[in-house]
Chains A and B, each alone.
Chain A
Amino acid sequence: MRKPKNHTKSVEARKQRGDEVAEIQWYFPNELDEVSEILRQEGIIPHSGGTGILWGGMTRIRGLMDVSHLGLKFFRTRDGTIELGAALSYAETATALAESGHLLSRSLRAAATEPLRNRISLGGSISMFPYWSDLMGPLLAHKAEVSLVGANSGTWTLDEYLKNRDLRQNTLITSIRLPDLPWQGAYYRHTRTPTDRPAFSITVLLRRKAKRIEEIRSVVVGCSGRYRRLAGVDQILQGSELPPDPSQLLEESVQKLNIDFPARMGFSTEYLKACAAIELERTLASALESSPKSTTGSVS
């Protein structure tokens, strides 16, 4: 008989202490109708790619609901909306959006590594929302919505979903919707090496008419409170006429930035704060330089 192994040190540690560690039960629903009933039981969470579940440890999980037979790997564009199935992996999403040069495609292509991009799913990544997420900044900037089934069936803005913990209980994300609009944009991830997790990331989307910025949305992920829309910076820039050299305007707008970071990855709070200000200014400049005719952005 094969010797059973556990992947998490916490499970092993609990067993060594003599604690009872329950066997994890798996559920394989074929229809969305079955989901609510399964999730009603305590300690059962949806499993798509599983990478976040492994990082989070599994000591409190009683059961896992595999979502691979629910038909949640789809990509649709209609009525000015992009709809992404929640079981799509980062790699599948990046490929689906690559042709349009969508900013989300570029941010996801920069995330993690090739085999992990093949495994990390959109739904799992939203529900776990690690600070290093390369998904959430672009989704929040696009004002994405999530569709849920289970205890809180319906469609919610991503912002609502993240702020209301109750929405996440006994619930499965089935799809993500975002408006299919032509934005200029840029995305920055603060890493030590390209395959590192970002200590923070910055997303900037903007639309402009001639030299006037009509709308701008800046989002930082990885700061204290996990994410923040930079409304103060956006207010300064929105509606402003861009001078031939916008660098002074950008510098002034970033000076109003007041955002905190927890120390992490060997970076101090003060260091991350200083880097965020500099990189925000650069990301704004990069967004202004990106092509206004498409949704193309850049990843640096």
Chain B
Amino acid sequence: MTGTLSINGTELRVSLRGDELLLDLLRDLGYTEVKEGCREGACGSCLVLLEGTLVNSCQVLAASALGRQITTVKGLGTFHQPHLIQDAFVEAGAVQCGFCTPGMVLATFALLKNNPNPTEEQIRHALDGNLCRCTGYVKIIEAVKLAAERMASNA
């Protein structure tokens, strides 16, 4: 089957199988910032925003995303023009191997979009679908708090 997807603001015509996962489609299209981890919806490495809502792309059949807007972490900021959240993760030392970082940044973005001043409990709840095996979460939660502060002062 064929259809269109809007990925990070770019409209793409794609050809896909009916049982294909959004994760596989995105990676095959070159969006390798969407990481392949558990493929079970448990680790959060493959998170994307689908119409602004945080989803595990390994748990989304690509056909159901046709005609919709997808944002990967590269849609938020680039190496030269990072998003405030990405800056905050670097400054707080919340990045080690970096594999979980795209998912963490997108989960943070989704949280702060709806709740600009979250409590620590709300941060933990919002990031409950993201696993990190390097830093141990303390620095990540600090990064989210820092990002919230920066975004509030830039608002």
> What number of residue pairs across chains A and B have CB atoms under 8 A from each other?
93
- When distances are taken between beta carbons in the complex, the residues of chain B under 8 Å from A68 are 64
Contact with B along A79-94 (1 / 0, CB 8 A): 0000000000000000
A255 at the interface (CB under 8 A from B): no
Q: Count residues of chain A with CB under 8 A from any CB of chain B.
A: 33
Q: Within the complex, which residue of A5, A50, A54 is in contact with B24, where a contact is CB–CB below 8 Å?
A: A5
Q: Could you write out 28 A-B pairs with CB less than 8 Å apart?
A: A4-B17, A4-B20, A6-B20, A7-B20, A7-B58, A23-B18, A24-B19, A26-B1, A26-B64, A47-B61, A47-B64, A50-B64, A51-B59, A54-B59, A58-B19, A64-B18, A64-B61, A64-B63, A64-B64, A113-B42, A113-B129, A114-B126, A114-B129, A115-B56, A116-B129, A118-B55, A119-B55, A119-B59
B41 at the interface (CB under 8 A from A): yes
Measured CA separation A24–B61 after assembly (Å) = 11
B107 at the interface (CB under 8 A from A): yes
A215 at the interface (CB under 8 A from B): no
B residues engaging A (CB < 8 A)?
A: 1, 15, 17-21, 24-25, 28-29, 39, 41-42, 44, 47, 53-56, 58-61, 63-64, 107, 110, 125-129
Name B's interface SS.
mixed
Residue in B21, B39, B55, B60 with the greatest tally of chain A CB atoms within 10 Å: B55
Measured CA separation A278–B40 after assembly (Å) = 32
Q: Within the complex, which residue of B24, B41, B107, B127 is in contact with A116, where a contact is CB–CB below 8 Å?
A: B41
A66 at the interface (CB under 8 A from B): yes
Contact between chains at B60 and A2 (CB < 8 Å): no
Q: Within the complex, which residue of B1, B59, B125 is in contact with A114, where a contact is CB–CB below 8 Å?
A: B125
- When distances are taken between beta carbons in the complex, the residues of chain B under 8 Å from A98 are none
A25 at the interface (CB under 8 A from B): yes
Name A's interface SS.
loop
Chain A contacts with B in 1-38, Cβ cutoff 8 A: 2-8, 11, 23-26
Measured CA separation A33–B25 after assembly (Å) = 32
Measured CA separation A80–B20 after assembly (Å) = 43
Contact between chains at B18 and A119 (CB < 8 Å): no
A232 at the interface (CB under 8 A from B): no
Closest residue of A by beta carbon distance from B23:
A7
A291 at the interface (CB under 8 A from B): no
- When distances are taken between beta carbons in the complex, the residues of chain A under 8 Å from B41 are 51, 112-113, 115-116
With known contacts A54-B59, A66-B64, A114-B128, A3–B54 Cβ distance under 8 A: no
Q: Within the complex, which residue of B28, B39, B54, B107 is in contact with A2, where a contact is CB–CB below 8 Å?
A: B28
Using A109-B125, A115-B47, A116-B129 as known contacts, list a sample of 17 further A-B pairs with CB atoms less than 8 Å apart, ordered by residue number in A: A2-B15, A2-B28, A5-B20, A23-B18, A47-B64, A54-B59, A54-B61, A63-B18, A64-B64, A66-B63, A113-B129, A114-B125, A114-B127, A114-B128, A115-B55, A116-B59, A195-B128
With known contacts A115-B55, A119-B55, A119-B60, A6–B19 Cβ distance under 8 A: yes
With known contacts A11-B19, A113-B44, A50–B61 Cβ distance under 8 A: yes
Measured CA separation A257–B116 after assembly (Å) = 47
Closest residue of A by beta carbon distance from B14:
A2
